[in-house]
Amino acid sequence: MDNVLLVDDDVELAEMLADYLRRDGFDVQAVYDGATGVTDALSGRYGIVVMDVMMPGMSGIEALRRIRLQSQIPVLMLTGKGDDIDRILGLELGADDYVPKPSSPRELAARIRAILRRTQTSAEIPELLSVGLLTMYPEKRNATWNGQPLELTGTEFNLLEVMARNAGRVVNKNELSEAGLGRPLARFDRSIDVHISSIRQKLDVCPNGQSYIQTVRGRGYVFIKD
């Protein structure tokens, strides 16, 4: 579903971005405050939310937190350049990715397409991916751990799927970024680390007390076969 919900209190900027995205083939609805953004995001009418972090009243961070209490709809955050704390907090709360402001509409459109491409169900025959306690259904976009549902964002699902398919082998961060975010890993970008940390918190630990996702310094991450 290429319906985009754009949430930004800067009306002029929001309309400019919305017009560009419409010309690029998206169906876009713009709203200008966080509370309305939350209500519309939970309506089921949209495939992705693009939301500014800095808004008066309810901030984008608080709106994201409320959305994640009820939905795993993809959320792309618009953050000010250099606002690393907001970016990391947004990712920790379940944002799928972020775009620094000011950004080009072309880059925004590319990021939206990358997220949608990796989160929308394809028409292929359903398959099952099982590694130890983890079972994933890639075409249905759901997963279980030890028989219990795993609540994963779209990006978290993509990253975990890549690691599960390569269980026992180190997967480098750039490979994870390409697969999970649809873009090369930028210098000093901590997005992958934050997403992996979130996934770890949703999984049990190994019998020896270690995480099932191990960091291999200077190389990447490895999913431990049970």
Candidate ranges 6-10, 88-92, 204-208; pick with highest mean pLDDT:
6-10
> What pLDDT shows up at residue 26?
95
In which band, very low, low, confident or very high, does the pLDDT at 209 lie, cut at 50, 70 and 90? confident
What is the residue-averaged pLDDT of the chain?
91
> What pLDDT shows up at residue 126?
56
> What pLDDT shows up at residue 123?
44
Which pTM was predicted? 0.81
Instruction: Reply yes or no on whether the pLDDT at 220 is more than 90.
Output: yes
Strands, E assignment, 12-169: 27-31, 48-52, 75-80, 97-101, 129-131, 134-137, 142-145, 148-149
Once rounded to an integer, what is the mean pLDDT over residues 144-149? 94
Domains of the chain: 3-119 (3.40.50.2300), 129-223 (1.10.10.10)
